[in-house]
Amino acid sequence: MTAVNTLKDKKTFNVALVGATGAVGEEMLKILEERNFPIKTLKLLASARSKGKKYSFRGQSHGVEELTEQSFKGIDIVLSSAGGSISKKFMPAAVREGAVVIDNTSAYRMDPEVPLVVPEINPEDIFKHKGIIANPNCSTIIMLVPLFPIYRKAGIKSVKVATYQSVSGAGAKAMHELERQSREFLDGKPVTREILPHQIAFNLFSHNSQVKENGYNEEENKMANETRKIFHDEDIRVAATCVRVPIYRAHSEAIYAELKKPLKVSEARELLSKADGVKLVDDRDKNYFPMPIEASGKDDILVGRLREDISADNSLALFVSGDQLRKGAALNAIQIAERLIR
């Protein structure tokens, strides 16, 4: 028996949020309320030190409970965003209890038994799950939603991307660090570091994930590997340069895509103007293109700077900004849940 059968017969659901007090967890709570997700009961789970913390949901106060293996009795859907090691440790228990887990960590993304889903791209994969569905990495989602209409129409051989990633991807504490360091810098005080490996205020640095043997860091390898899995395309080649910039919460990406078949810029613009999950912001006369402050808090990924890649034949260049906490994380997970119960 797979858990999906259980969900089909229900109209409202017992939902557990794992990592409820994190930046993504708090965003999930907001989005569940905004989208009126059919919740019967809501359980907020986090580590022991957050126990008792209160959140308001639909006008009612919900206290945070400590996450244990016994937390999942009667739960239908788990939205997990507490980090890979927490998911590895606790999600098997959730699955044993019959819940479907939508996991927003890297723990299961590349597991061949686990679907990796962006609802605008491969919704059909949702129903192949065996208890766990993985939510892709934020930078991957923000790149692929705008690339997918182009991919479907013209095919894509290879992608080169350079990211401008906000500190929200490193969690709420990193957002506070940007604020504290910025004040310190402006006040002429020594800049202190607690969370991030280098000063982020008025600086940038190569993404703070481990650099692997191929010279790419984990974030960059995720973008390459997850793209192949989501597109079901073992041939697409992705090279990423992931960089943290002093911005609070939306990621931007400069993308160069080498196509299989010719596609005019005007055709790409037309495709993107109608595509789900993206908003075209591409006014050359006004020099008005995607910006992270305008992408923040939005569901759509902003896409613009559409032009031929003049360094190569049959290639396009574009620039995107998307809210890392929403479509890059919480929203995508909840959209998966919505499809699951539809």
Positions that interact with a second copy (CB under 8 A): 158-160, 162, 164, 178-179, 182-183, 186, 197-199, 202-206, 208, 210-211, 214-217, 224, 237-239, 241, 243, 245-248, 252, 254, 256, 265, 284-285, 287, 289, 291-293, 304-312, 317, 319
> CA distances (Å), 209 to each of 175, 240, 305, 332, in order?
17, 13, 29, 23
Nearer to a second copy, 64 or 238 (CB): 238
d(C-alpha 173, C-alpha 179), whole Å: 10
Apex CA 291: angle with CA 288 and CA 294, to 5°?
Answer: 100
The amino acid at residue 31 is I
Nearer to a second copy, 69 or 179 (CB): 179
Least distance to a second copy from the beta carbon of 265, Å? 7
Least distance to a second copy from the beta carbon of 185, Å? 8
Nearer to a second copy, 53 or 237 (CB): 237
138 tagged catalytic:
yes
Contact 184, 201 (CB under 8 A): yes
242 tagged catalytic:
no
Least distance to a second copy from the beta carbon of 148, Å? 18
Closest CA to 321 of 259, 264, 248, 257: 248
Contact 267, 150 (CB under 8 A): no
Question: Which residue among 62, 129, 207, 251 is the active-site one?
Answer: 251
Question: Which residue among 62, 138, 207, 242 is the active-site one?
Answer: 138
Nearer to a second copy, 137 or 252 (CB): 252
Q: Which residues contact 183 (CB under 8 A, 6 or more apart)?
A: none
Least distance to a second copy from the beta carbon of 169, Å? 15
Active site residue ranges = 138, 251
